Amino acid sequence: MSLYPVNLNIEDSLCLVVGGGWVALRKSRGLLQADARVRVISPALVPELQGLVDGGEIEWFERPFVEGDLEGVCLVFSATNNRQVQLLVREEAKKHKVLLNSADAPLESDFHVPAHFRRGPMLVTVSTGGGSPALAKKLRKQLEAEIVPEYQAVVGLMGLIRKKVIAHSDDHKVNSEIFNRLLAGNLVTYVLQENWFDLQMLLLQELPEEIDSPGLMKIFLARQDQS
């Protein structure tokens, strides 16, 4: 199966999880990380899902899935081992043109959720197209060990720099060269090692004179103190 890679913005979009077990819990937590509005439909819930309901993080319809439940839904996850329910969810998804992920039937799914981890706003994913979830999980663990949590700070700094550079010039080629020189100049290593002096020197050397590099560093370090 050849899949198209895409990152979806589902912030404040209604996403439905059908089922109340451990798979439903995992899907619900992933949706919450993406700031989606999560609704779960199931006659019963595992305690951890119930905790999300009690905490007001997700909405629970305490009943089986029925026709019409996909009205206004962005994505639906079929996380139940009841085949009849799975078939009904798929029929409703086609009817309402809602993208479906079926936990136990990848070939019947419109999309897959790859093995992934986050470093702040950075999302790192691995997919085998449903061929081997075990291999995807293994590779994800390898990458997670290499891309350490401190990379969140790297992403934050590069985001600040990008805004300043783009505001200064709309020349894509020139801007791209600046970003590449910063990365080639050990920016990542300086941030990971908290080597702020050499990082400041690098910014002064590579950023246009019109960009306030010391001011940019001040903002970055203030955000680091708050995190």
- Provide φ and ψ at 61, rounded to 5°: -100, 110
Q: What percent of the chain has pLDDT over 90?
A: 87
Supply 100's token pair.
Answer: 């479906």
How do residues 154-213 score in pLDDT, each as one tens digit?
Answer: 999 999 999 999 999 999 999 999 999 999 999 999 999 999 999 999 999 999 999 999
Q: Tally the residues of the chain.
A: 227
Alpha carbon distances (Å) from 86 to 36, 78, 148, 175, 194: 22, 6, 38, 49, 51
How do residues 52-106 score in pLDDT, each as one tens digit?
Answer: 999 999 999 999 999 999 999 999 999 998 999 999 999 999 999 999 999 877 7
